[in-house]
Structure 1
Amino acid sequence: MKRGSKKSHLRILKASNIYGGLLSLITVTTYLLLMFLFPGTFRYLPIQAILLPSGIISVTVFSYLHLSYYEKASDEVVCPISIGVLITLMCLSPSLIITAHFTIPVLRYGDILPLPEPLFWIPFILGNIGIVLGALSMFAMLRINRIRKVPGELRLKPKRWKTKGLWLSIAILTAGVIIAGASVLSGPLGKTEVAYDVRLDTGTSEETTIFLPVPIDESIREVADVMNELNVVDGTADWEIVDTAHGKALEVRTKAKCVLSAEKECGYKGWEEGDEWLYSYNFSMLQRINRNDYEVWVFASTANATLRIRLSMDDGISNLLRYISVGSTPTDPFTYEVPLEEEWQTVKLARSLMCYD
């Protein structure tokens, strides 16, 4: 093999090695940032944050060391074909991912709005440069394949630590890619939280007793654990969970305004498990359900009291399910502050699902 041809092949492989390593590092860093910023939590993210960048950096360094060794050790041999394949893959993989990410939506949906934007063209150009370098590396690798029978190639052996370092780097990177793939395929985990709060205003200085519905965990048919966290956060009041003719109730005794609140974390759950968990809560003292409107029994010992009650469940990924009391007044046909009468009565709770990202 001519020395000039060898030098040109080495330049291509070295350029592809460095550019592919940098582009892979940018791609992986962007991926990890998106995973960290995502509302949910992906599995094994700390392990990915260690394995992927360290694997890319070490593979790039050891591949370059091998290229430098063969550059000095032989006038004929460029490098083993395995090194060429590795460099080509390291250059093409992130380039194709970046280019596809920005071009497929344009081609598939005809969305041309991003085209004039620099944030579209910069990654697009970077990806295409990588594709060109990867194609040139593939050409150089095919040329390497033609000279595999050159005498002396098999006798060329880099120092053992370089070879072991390269294989260890490949193992680290491969493990990181496998774990990342498994993490993405299994989906995110969300930190689920449930909150229950009640706002009362007796409208009088007399002690008023009010019976309110409490959240029920349908999976065990018991009062939800969140009620163990209930506290008076504003005003003064005495409370306890009691049995009534309509079911379990929160009995509150107070002489003025008060706020009772409870919050509880319910662990990490995936997409499907989180959806099931969202709808696993219901209310005690249900009178009837009409689509997204629930009617529950409430009792007040005096008139003129007002009530606001809310139950919310957040799956920690993208959904917030909320139940909140709604009523009407002469001036407002839709208000969260519900006036109460001096007797058993029904109060409407509106259910709504808010999706966020």
Structure 2
Amino acid sequence: MIIQKSATPRIATFDPQNFSFGDTFTDHMIICEYENGKWGDVKLIPYGPLPFTPAMMGLNYGQACFEGMKAYKDDEGEVFLFRPEKNFERINKSASRLAMPEVTEEMFLGGLKALVDMDREWIPQGVGTSLYIRPLIFATEEVLKARISNKYMFAIVATPAKSYYTEPVSVLISDFYSRAASGGVGSAKAAGNYAASFYPTQLANQQGYEQVIWTDDSTHEYFEESGTMNVFVRINDTIYTPPTSEKILDGVTRDSFIHLAKRRGIEVRIEPVSVKKVIEAQKDGSLKEVWGVGTAVVTSVFRALGYKGEKLELPTLPLEESFALSLQQDLVNIQNNKSEDPFGWRMKVGKEVLQDA
């Protein structure tokens, strides 16, 4: 790995008590370029602009995918990643679906650890805060031809993070728009998936809802995801979540919630979740909770569902009665090294001496 430390680090200007998520970046980033059929050297360099043109193929034809993950700092100042091998597997699944070259484990995990180690001072300390990390792959060839690119860049950038949603949100069940279609790229973290979600979400916002629950593209009778999250439904004391598929992202937080729920002895049913069943459960009082999970948000509890012009209120449960909040607490405790890790999910990032090239 080629190391170039920043000559003008900005860490001294960072206030961990006063920052906004997503627009404050650490001092360094990882880049690696693909050309002539192979990846070059991984480079850790100062964060900043890169020289691209509007003719870059990633901008014009959408060959771009990414991952979202976090690093956590415990009470002793030790730093941990959470299940990074899952993100490594998924970014390559996304790259393959978009006809892009896969990255190696050494590139991904080695680059990740080096960046987190170099910029560990940027990781806020305390539950609810973390370092959000964005690995990405995108086409960089400068040519306007609708074909597979011959050049790519793998990069990793990072931004300090704090709680995404602090209050329960209202969500609109979509009866027209879908996040993904059969045979499409819904199971990949393709950049275009998110662009396509913005307009329906904007329409939901105009109706007083913060997010959308996406339904299937053919009948709109089944839950798929919610916003940029996987979705869970609790009816009585059973949790339901849709199975992953070519339309539904295999979320790391989703998988973690399933494991944690089963460890608590909660019944989890991974099966299609019908809109009709959820609405009926809300009417008869058996619908206890609906929530979304994802890396950035961890857990977003829903306070109301909008459907065909009706706003259906959901119960507000205290921590001791809420599956969503209890499982979130279990997850956060593991991530922040506040409890045992029975699954071996934490990966400690040691302090290395990284020298300039």
TM-score normalised by L of structure 1: 0.22
**Relative contact order: is structure 1 or structure 2 higher (C-alpha 8 Å, sep ≥ 6)?**
2
Higher normalized helix content (fraction of residues): 1
Structure whose alpha-carbon radius of gyration is higher? 1
